[in-house]
Amino acid sequence: MTKKMKRRARAILCGALLFLIAVLVKELHLIKNTNVQIILFLAAYLVTGRDVIKKAVRNIRNGQVLDENFLMTIASLGAFLISEMSEAVGVMLFYQIGEFFQDYAVNRSRKSISELMDIRPDSANVQRGDEIKTVSPEEVRVGELIVIRPGERIPLDAVVVKGESMLDTVAITGESVPRRVSEGSELVSGCINLNGVLTASVEKEYADSTVMRILALVESASDKKAESENFITRFARYYTPIVVGLAAVIAIVPSIVTGAYTTWIYRALSFLVISCPCALVISVPLSFFGGIGGASAKGILIKGSNYLEGLARAESVVFDKTGTLTKGSFSVTKLLPSENLLREAKDETEAEEQLLYLAALTESFSTHPIAVSILEAAKERGLLKPHGEDRPLISEVNEEAGLGIRAQYEDETLLCGNKALLEKHDIGFPSPEALPQTSGTVVYIAKGDGFVGSIVISDELKSDARECIAGLKSLGLRPVMLTGDRRETAEGVAGELGVGEVYAELLPTGKVEKLEQLLSEKKRSEGKLIFVGDGINDAPVLARADIGVAMGGAGSDAAIEAADIVLMTDEPSKLLQAYKISKKTLNIVKENIVFAIGVKVIVLLLAAFGLASMWAAVFADVGVAALAILNAMRALK
């Protein structure tokens, strides 16, 4: 409980005790002196209402006259003037109770945000010479070595150079399962080292680290208001002077006509208390704040409530391919030995391993991504010796630009590359029907003058990509793919995922032009187009889309900066979670607006005709606000 909440709780308890004593003294005639009764009620009123009165006076001085503090003060003082002392104190007491629950709700909704703020590291152990010094993370420079001990929070983005451990990444990614890291693994600042000691080389300065980017995004999220919040601001601007004017009319006109001043002033005061738009002013921003907090706990950072609201109105979701729906790293997906190799080997597995071994030997000196994927596949199967001890078996390695690699092995020529390489060296191919029909990259291998097989290398789909596309389609959203990749590759990936609309071979400018076209095709004026991407070339499209969503783990800094929503785990299926959170939050906001305005209108009409007492006014103000706040807190879950 905060200091403010404790102070308010003390005021409520003291005020309630004084109020109870005053009521007992008056009703049971324990003290017949009227002045003593007034003093007891006045003491209870000042204890419970002091903060409200001070705020009203301060706001009047600052030119903010017509707010809920002014309405509460004038209504309660007016009740004193017409000798309704118990109702005057009751109005303040129950208002303070309502405010206490509001503080509790805001405090609760801030919990996930404050937990997120705890990811800020306090210090870093930096290795300088033979010493390890504990310094502020801001003092560590790129390239320096830091030591992270068990239980410590990773202070900066870095790469492990020594050691292995398990990391708790839940604060950054929302993923509850610990992640294993070892030499060469990337470390994200804000995660917690669970067991082993790690030595890592710093990749980014503290100001550019993941943890600081996250904190900056969360801290700035409240600056961007949703349309619903702007509606409340506009509503209150016109609503408050109107109800004050109506209250004045209710107090003056009927009093002059009927002469029943006390009756009509009481009704006007009840009208003023009822008119306070607390439920709207408090619960709507609180709902959005809760939605943003709940999303951040799941590794989804939303930069403003306007984007949270816009997400619920999504109509189309446009995806980049590489690094967004696919892993962005090549891997061997098929090994297709030739018929001759299959006949020579004792079984298909041995033939596949012979094919992969020959390809790995040929590519062992290359750093091309395709070569790296072949070498990784060979290592996984244990076909290569450690530390490149197989390399002496290969000689006269020549890379033929745009074609592949030619090398000598056991007095025979090895070829590993595209179809044109083998054609150049007069290697015969099997029939076209026997060659792989695939959207991936095909590497052909020959030994001597004979074709020995082909290897298909593909950019793997992310494990949850199919789930993401299927989920979006089930929600009635239109998935689209924009990519710079070859048409065959793009259409192959789209076919696997079930994306029916694909635009391939696009440069960054072409992506923006195509996005403009898709924006013009929206069916509803309020419908939103979402773009999901991860690369530097996606930044212009992310900025142009109605809502830009970036992959926060592997995504580029430019993409994350340009995006409105960041998925910290690089899982496209998180978009489904974000969409559902936005839908739930918007439903809660609508419920609160309809409920608050509906009850207000009904009780205002009753008060104007004398059918609602000051106590009904208290319920209409504090009760409706409390119920709306409790409803808003559902957005946190």
- Cα 378 to chain centroid distance, Å, stands at 39
The reported pLDDT for the residue numbered 387 is: 58
The reported pLDDT for the residue numbered 414 is: 92
Q: Where are the alpha helices (DSSP H) in 28-166?
A: 34-61, 68-81, 85-117
Return all residues near 401 (Cβ < 8 A) that are at least 6 apart: none
- Quick check: 422 and 297 in contact, CB under 8 A? no
The reported pLDDT for the residue numbered 19 is: 87
Enter the CATH code of domain 141-204: 2.70.150.10
Intervals of CATH 2.70.150.10 along the chain: 141-204
- Quick check: 486 and 493 in contact, CB under 8 A? no
Taken in order 28, 32, 33, 34, the sign of the CA dihedral is positive
Intervals of CATH 3.40.1110.10 along the chain: 328-460
- Quick check: 530 and 549 in contact, CB under 8 A? yes
pLDDT band at 222 (very low <50, low <70, confident <90, very high): very low
Intervals of CATH 3.40.50.1000 along the chain: 290-327+462-582
Encode pLDDT of 113-139 as tens digits.
455 456 678 889 999 988 899 999 989
Residue in 37, 41, 33 with CA at minimum distance from that of residue 79? 41
Residue in 319, 332, 281, 345 with CA at minimum distance from that of residue 573? 319
- Quick check: 21 and 40 in contact, CB under 8 A? yes
Segment among 277-281, 325-329, 405-409 with least mean pLDDT: 277-281
- Quick check: 82 and 43 in contact, CB under 8 A? no
Average pLDDT, integer, range 137-153: 92
| Higher per-residue confidence, 204 vs 553 | 204
Over 50: is that where the pLDDT of 92 sits?
yes
- Quick check: 320 and 535 in contact, CB under 8 A? yes
Encode pLDDT of 442-453 as tens digits.
889 999 888 999
Over 70: is that where the pLDDT of 279 sits?
no
The reported pLDDT for the residue numbered 133 is: 92
Residue with tokens 């009753």: 606
Active site residues: 320
The reported pLDDT for the residue numbered 415 is: 93
Encode pLDDT of 188-215 as tens digits.
888 889 888 999 999 988 888 877 766 6
Encode pLDDT of 506-519 as tens digits.
766 778 889 889 98
Over 60: is that where the pLDDT of 167 sits?
yes
pLDDT band at 472 (very low <50, low <70, confident <90, very high): very high
Q: Pick one of 3.40.800.10, 3.40.50.720, 3.40.1110.10, 3.90.1300.10 as the CATH number of 328-460.
A: 3.40.1110.10
Residue with tokens 């400018």: 509
pLDDT band at 169 (very low <50, low <70, confident <90, very high): confident
Q: What is the pTM of this model?
A: 0.61
Encode pLDDT of 358-367 as tens digits.
999 898 888 7
Q: Per the CATH hierarchy, to which homologous superfamily does domain 290-327+462-582 belong?
A: HAD superfamily/HAD-like (3.40.50.1000)
